[in-house]
Structure 1
Amino acid sequence: MALDRHILRRSFASSSLNMLHHPCFLHLQYPILVLLLLSVRPDAAVADGGEFIFDGFSGADLNLTMDGDASVADGLLRLTSGRLSFLKGHAFYPYPLDFTEVSNGSSLASFSTTFLFSIMGPYIDLSSHGLAFVLCSNKDFSSALPGQFLGLLNQWNNGNATNHIVAIELDTIMNSEFQDIDSNHIGVDINGLISVSSATAGYYTPTHAFRKLSLTGGQPMQLWVDYDSNQAMMNVTVAPCCLSSKPSWPLLSVACNLSTVLPGTAVYAGFSSANGVLGSRHYILGWSFKLNGEPAALNYSALSIKTIQELAAQLQYQPHTNKIKTIILCAALLPTVGIAIAVSATLFKLHMKRRLDARRNQLEWQREYGLPSFTYKDLLIATSGFKDKMLLGKGGFGSVFKGLLPHSNRTVAIKRVSPESKQGMKEFMAEIVILGHLRHRNLVQLLGYCRHKQQLLLVYDYMPNGSLDCHLHTQDRNLCWAQRFRIIKGIASGLFYLHEDWEQVVIHRDIKTSNVLLDGEMNARLGDFGLARSHAHGADAHTTRVAGTWGYIAPELARLGKATKATDIFALGVLMMEVACARRPIWVNSADGEPLALADWVLAAWRRGSITDAIDPRLDDYVEEEIEVVLKLGLLCCHPSPNARPRMRLVMQYLDRDAALPTDLQPDTLLMSNFDVSQDDNEMHEQHAMSCPTTAITDLSRGR
């Protein structure tokens, strides 16, 4: 029970008992006391400041408004009984909620809710339509239709902006008219039943593994809906009943501004469900809701979970549904089939085999790479049909477009991979598998993907300030030193996360300035993970071919084709010097027409006595100690011996000035001495064991 519930009962009982001591009421004290005790019920909902909780449902005075097929029995709220076809049921908290009570400066309150539910069809693998959690401005759904309309809308008002409805649908039938992704999904609906976002029902484990759930199995499950009005973001999470904690990763994360949908002053919360041809039972076991905060936890021990589990267990003993499905399919085909039964059976068998093969391929793809997050139609609308005016740039394996997503009005970047490119397909899969699971402020966020026939599309956060190389190598743009230093530290922080701080080691393999994007506040985001590979900590990466961009490729990578953490750090060193000097990694010397490496240029300036002579002449406000650290650390990261390059943890310490560069780091002794650096970490100490042949660092250009 929530704390406010006990306070309410205690204060009410105390004041009432004091009244009973009055002489006028002495002869009535026993009847009144009995009525008071009967009025305090353990499962009644209590609302205070937009908060209420139902730890079960029972009693004639239950604080709910119900209509249609909805009823209460055995501590359960049953929205549909399953006895008849095409019925609908509704249950709502009877009092309107005031969504104008805000504390974060937004125009609408935030809210969070959680509830336990169960959906039982006539058979364990066959169900009718699902149910929905609903926020709306009006509880009158008399004109709504059952079936695929879930008792919420009808064919005339579906999609109208005047509906003022937000629903989280738990759908168990695939309806093509509403563009459903499958027959077992959860979706966010705004004013209509075409979901703005949906995903196959399931949850993420603490190790980020996806576990699929079957909504029709009858087993109790818990759903959480959390809306942050300040961020205009809604998260939807589902999990099996009674987990020790709510999954940390939501199933759906949808950008939506509900202040344009809900009226604010009078919003009703509740549930709606409906049946179609088949009868299904939809149950709510418990429900908790709160505005501007976390809802009170449900008391699992007070809920009728065992009753639901016993009902669900009975479904396992029902006859199999193949016969019913076959009859339905044959009945649908008879009006259009005018040939012999044998030919019809053969055609039907071939048709089903093709569908089964396609479905199997689709499931294998989704099992490997997750569910598609966007529809092709939405991305087509977002880019105005992929017109050239929305084109941001072209790469070796596709084009990138700017897009404005419908419904959420969020600006995104959409990469369309060339379907005829086998390497493009590999990059597409690498981005989904690796970048799709990474979360860091200095990495470009992959929002999702779409696979439509031969079309492969990736959707990212839009970076309004473009790529870093445009700011470094374009005369009309210039970055001050403070911006450049913050960008360098941001890229290093992102690479440290990839190498050391994530659950697996990620080798980027293509670190360069054109793959660093800048957001609206000029923060660096490392992107383009098409060449990236991951492996377990302590294991080796299995790469056998050279990948990357000329000028950023480490000597051992060019010779052996094996990418490691050290080859990434080599590319980072080149990038650090490029940011400070605003020069390409390799360019043609105008004096003799020979190619010149950036590392040679910086080292030559250091040997002349002033390493800062190599910096971008447009810089006039730099901090000399910081720029020296960047240039010398860049040279150290570009050491020809991979064992001599610092690990990312040490790179971060150097940049944050928590550790000093080795005192033996000099231009003439860079490759000839073992640096005497005291480190607590044995792994860092081993980095300075340099047992490589004497080679001039100016020869780095010959290894690339």
Structure 2
Amino acid sequence: MHSFTTSFLFEMTSLYEHYGSTPGSDGVAFVISSTNKFLNDSLLPGPYLGLFNMSNRSSASRNILAIELGTIMNPKLNDIDDNHVAININSLISVNYHTAGFYTPDGGFQSVRLNMEQVFQLWVDYDGKAQQLNVTLGFPGSPKPKYPLLSNTLNLSSLLPSELFVGFSASTSTLSTRHFILGWSFKTNGEASQLNYSAFVEGYFNFIDLACYQAAGNTKESDWEMNCGPPSFTYKDLVSATGGFKDKMLLGKGGFGRVYKGFLPASKQNVAIKRISPESKQGTKEFASEVTILGHVRHRSLVRLLGYCRHKHELLLVYDYMPNGSLDKYLHGQDKPALGWSQRFCIIKSVASGLFYLHEEWEHVVIHRDIKSSNVLLDDAMNGRLGDFGLARLHDHGVDAHTTRIAGTFGYIAPELARLGKATKAADVFAFGVFMREVTCGRRPVEVNACGEPQVLADHVINAWQDGSIMDSRDPRLEDCVAQEVEMVLKLGLLCSHPSPKVRPGTRLVMRYLENVATLPDFPLNFFNADPANDEVYDQFVASVAAATISLSGGR
């Protein structure tokens, strides 16, 4: 048999992960077979993956090599655990197996969970001359691990004919699990083409937008599921959860549609269900963006998306229920109690933490593009969580975003975004700066003053500073507050919303200021003008802060 190399990106997700437990499915297998005749009654689903029958043997006319990704431990098949990679030949009793993971350059082993909504990359390499089969697991965008997870000497020429069939087989059993093959490359007698995960993600947005647009017409439900992934909930489930979408379950409404409170008996969980109407301002691209991004990121300061559903021309998103609603109701509403400073400061730090995760900590850069108080929801402990990722876009670290359409909310949009339409981390930081001032001052980003003229919140803060006390711009309802913290947040808000994007700090430095790890420099008031000379001044301040941070950490 010829040599070959193949690589593919895959993801295995379990609905139960949202409920605190992670039972797996029977798994996925990369398959090389002497035939493509698998559709007959003797082949079984479940632990047999649609490849074998109860005898656990292939027929004499069908030889199979399967690289198994298993997430259930089946003692009858001698599985080592419920999270393994295995090599199978004509049987699901493996000839070689290992707990899922990869070897580090120093020879150490790093285990991973296959079904934790994480994209992985698997390499399968066969050297026909040496009769050596290697299987390696890793992450897309990272170098292929030096040492394979599995390595076997196998004479595949005696097993498989010169003409063969290559593909995938999987089984979810009865559990709510989804399997995705996100990219695949295969080549005989040479290196398979590298998989560009960044290009895949960018292309996926374009593809899913087109697919969802088509699905909004007269295409079948199965077409939508094929293009956009299987839904996590049935429409019947969500109708039952909301009592038929009764008005008493209504939490709010807007240009996108309505949000209802629901209860899922299976998980004994309250949820929020966004029901997007056909006339909604939130189109299929925004819907797809939210499913794709928010369905994968996991952080305590981000609202969790539990799943979605499509019914006729309706699109429905299911989230964790936030019992205290959105932050803007507490800042600007008349029927909510005023928040104290400790609560507000905690919310600011929480949202900053979530934004830092999106910009720096997740495997890709996520640009939110619509940070504002109405998109910050409060849980039962009044912790702030950033939500509504309908406008969000993602790209690889170290790569510029390609978005050229202006998006966001008036008052929060950075000046360079209004001119160029380019989504950047700096534009998100600008909006976060507006958000910090809004929370501290209890005023909207743009309001009408006593003379009937619009007043920008930044001007209100700067005017108070010019008049001798920036503290005078704070919300008058903030009686017992820590003056040093309030002043720092107001000045940091101005810095984050500086007219020059080069001057704005990154989210890592913002977190240092908020956590009092670094001290905010004492900028003069005129520093906040749109003067290019301020770029150099700020660079000097950043350099001094970095040097101080290094010295404090012992040079590590």
- Shared fold (TM-score, shorter chain, > 0.5): yes
Contact 1:372 1:451 in 2 (8 A): yes
Q: What's the offset of the Cα at 1:237?
A: 6.3
1:466-520: per-residue Cα shift (whole Å, max 9, x none)?
1111111234412111111111011111111111122221111110000000111
Matching of residue 628 in structure 1 with residue 487 in structure 2: yes
1:177-213: per-residue Cα shift (whole Å, max 9, x none)?
xxxxxx99xxxxxxxxxxxxxxxxxxxxxxxxxxxxx
1:199-249: per-residue Cα shift (whole Å, max 9, x none)?
xxxxxxxxxxxxxxxxx97847464459xxxxxxxx986865535516525
Residues 566, 594 of structure 1: CA spacing in aligned structure 2 closer, same or farther, 3 A cutoff?
same
1:3-55: per-residue Cα shift (whole Å, max 9, x none)?
xxxxxxxxxxxxxxxxxxxxxxxxxxxxxxxxxxxxxxxxxxxxxxxxxxxxx
Match of 2:292 in 1: 433
Match of 2:100 in 1: 245
Q: What's the offset of the Cα at 1:426?
A: 1.4
Of residues 435, 438, 446, the one that matches 1:575 is 435
Q: What's the offset of the Cα at 1:170?
A: 5.4
Contact 1:378 1:406 in 2 (8 A): no
Match of 1:507 in 2: 367
The amino acid that maps onto 1:380 is V
Task: Tell me how far apart the structure 1 counterparts of residues 421 and 274 of structure 2 sit (CA, whole Å).
Answer: 28
Of residues 347, 360, 381, the one that matches 1:487 is 347
Contact 1:124 1:218 in 2 (8 A): no
Task: Tell me how far apart the structure 2 counterparts of residues 540 and 652 of structure 1 sit (CA, whole Å).
Answer: 23
Of residues 223, 226, 229, the one that matches 1:361 is 223
Match of 1:564 in 2: 424
Contact 1:471 1:479 in 2 (8 A): yes
TM-score (norm 2): 0.63
Contact 2:436 2:493 in 1 (8 A): yes
Matching of residue 598 in structure 1 with residue 457 in structure 2: yes
The amino acid that maps onto 2:499 is P
Residues 636, 680 of structure 1: CA spacing in aligned structure 2 closer, same or farther, 3 A cutoff?
closer
Of residues 293, 297, 312, the one that matches 1:453 is 312
The amino acid that maps onto 2:462 is L
The amino acid that maps onto 2:268 is N
Matching of residue 395 in structure 1 with residue 254 in structure 2: yes
Q: What's the offset of the Cα at 1:623?
A: 1.1
Task: Tell me how far apart the structure 2 counterparts of residues 427 and 129 of structure 1 sit (CA, whole Å).
Answer: 44
Match of 2:283 in 1: 424
Matching of residue 126 in structure 1 with residue 39 in structure 2: yes
Alignment partner of 2:405: what SS?
Answer: coil
Residues 423, 522 of structure 1: CA spacing in aligned structure 2 closer, same or farther, 3 A cutoff?
closer
Task: Tell me how far apart the structure 2 counterparts of residues 514 and 615 of structure 1 sit (CA, whole Å).
Answer: 20
Match of 2:444 in 1: 584
Mapping of residues 185-204 of structure 1, within 5 Å:
none
Task: Tell me how far apart the structure 2 counterparts of residues 222 and 537 of structure 1 sit (CA, whole Å).
Answer: 29
Task: Tell me how far apart the structure 2 counterparts of residues 575 and 470 of structure 1 sit (CA, whole Å).
Answer: 14
Contact 1:446 1:460 in 2 (8 A): yes
Residues 128, 388 of structure 1: CA spacing in aligned structure 2 closer, same or farther, 3 A cutoff?
farther
1:519-551: per-residue Cα shift (whole Å, max 9, x none)?
111111100000111122222222222211111
Deviates more, 1:410-419 or 1:536-545: 536-545
Residues 485, 361 of structure 1: CA spacing in aligned structure 2 closer, same or farther, 3 A cutoff?
same
Matching of residue 468 in structure 1 with residue 288 in structure 2: no
The amino acid that maps onto 1:245 is A
Across the two proteins, how many residue pairs are aligned to each other? Answer: 400
Mapping of residues 251-650 of structure 1, within 5 Å:
361-362=223-224, 364-366=226-228, 370-421=229-280, 423-475=282-334, 476-590=336-450, 592-650=451-509
Contact 1:647 1:684 in 2 (8 A): no
Mapping of residues 4-19 of structure 1, within 5 Å:
none
Q: What's the offset of the Cα at 1:438?
A: 0.8
Q: What's the offset of the Cα at 1:607?
A: 1.1
1:558-606: per-residue Cα shift (whole Å, max 9, x none)?
222222111111110111011111111111101x111111111111111
Task: Tell me how far apart the structure 2 counterparts of residues 437 and 117 of structure 1 sit (CA, whole Å).
Answer: 20
Contact 2:252 2:259 in 1 (8 A): yes
Q: What's the offset of the Cα at 1:412?
A: 0.8
Q: What's the offset of the Cα at 1:113?
A: 9.8
Alignment partner of 2:528: what SS?
Answer: coil
Task: Tell me how far apart the structure 2 counterparts of residues 116 and 489 of structure 1 sit (CA, whole Å).
Answer: 40
Contact 2:83 2:100 in 1 (8 A): no
Match of 1:677 in 2: 541
Task: Tell me how far apart the structure 2 counterparts of residues 408 and 610 of structure 1 sit (CA, whole Å).
Answer: 52
The amino acid that maps onto 1:442 is S
Q: What's the offset of the Cα at 1:453?
A: 3.2
Task: Tell me how far apart the structure 1 counterparts of residues 495 and 424 of structure 2 sit (CA, whole Å).
Answer: 17
Residues 171, 622 of structure 1: CA spacing in aligned structure 2 closer, same or farther, 3 A cutoff?
farther
Task: Tell me how far apart the structure 2 counterparts of residues 632 and 547 of structure 1 sit (CA, whole Å).
Answer: 26
The amino acid that maps onto 1:361 is D
Alignment partner of 1:639: what SS?
Answer: coil
Contact 2:85 2:100 in 1 (8 A): no
Alignment partner of 2:525: what SS?
Answer: coil
Contact 1:381 1:406 in 2 (8 A): no
1:675-695: per-residue Cα shift (whole Å, max 9, x none)?
33153798999xxxxxxxxxx
Residues 489, 317 of structure 1: CA spacing in aligned structure 2 closer, same or farther, 3 A cutoff?
closer
Contact 1:236 1:251 in 2 (8 A): no
Task: Tell me how far apart the structure 2 counterparts of residues 681 and 503 of structure 1 sit (CA, whole Å).
Answer: 27
Task: Tell me how far apart the structure 2 counterparts of residues 116 and 553 of structure 1 sit (CA, whole Å).
Answer: 45
Q: What's the offset of the Cα at 1:112?
A: 8.5
Contact 1:127 1:172 in 2 (8 A): no
Alignment partner of 1:499: what SS?
Answer: helix
Contact 2:71 2:114 in 1 (8 A): no
Residues 222, 538 of structure 1: CA spacing in aligned structure 2 closer, same or farther, 3 A cutoff?
closer
Q: What's the offset of the Cα at 1:117?
A: 11
Task: Tell me how far apart the structure 1 counterparts of residues 246 and 25 of structure 2 sit (CA, whole Å).
Answer: 43
Alignment partner of 1:437: what SS?
Answer: coil
Match of 1:323 in 2: none
The amino acid that maps onto 2:283 is G
Q: What's the offset of the Cα at 1:627?
A: 0.8
Task: Tell me how far apart the structure 2 counterparts of residues 411 and 463 of structure 1 sit (CA, whole Å).
Answer: 9
Alignment partner of 2:438: what SS?
Answer: helix
Residues 360, 372 of structure 1: CA spacing in aligned structure 2 closer, same or farther, 3 A cutoff?
closer
Unaligned runs of 5+ in 1: 1-109, 133-168, 174-182, 185-215, 227-234, 254-299, 319-356, 686-704
Task: Tell me how far apart the structure 2 counterparts of residues 127 and 406 of structure 1 sit (CA, whole Å).
Answer: 37
Task: Tell me how far apart the structure 2 counterparts of residues 111 and 649 of structure 1 sit (CA, whole Å).
Answer: 32
Alignment partner of 1:616: what SS?
Answer: coil
Q: What is the Cα-based RMSD across aligned positions, in Å?
A: 4.2
The amino acid that maps onto 1:677 is F
Taking only the aligned residue pairs, the percentage that are identical comes to: 54
Residues 112, 239 of structure 1: CA spacing in aligned structure 2 closer, same or farther, 3 A cutoff?
same
Contact 1:482 1:622 in 2 (8 A): yes
Unaligned runs of 5+ in 2: 1-20, 53-62, 74-80, 88-96, 102-111, 119-149, 166-218, 550-556
The amino acid that maps onto 2:397 is H
Whose Rg is larger? 1
Q: What's the offset of the Cα at 1:376?
A: 1.8
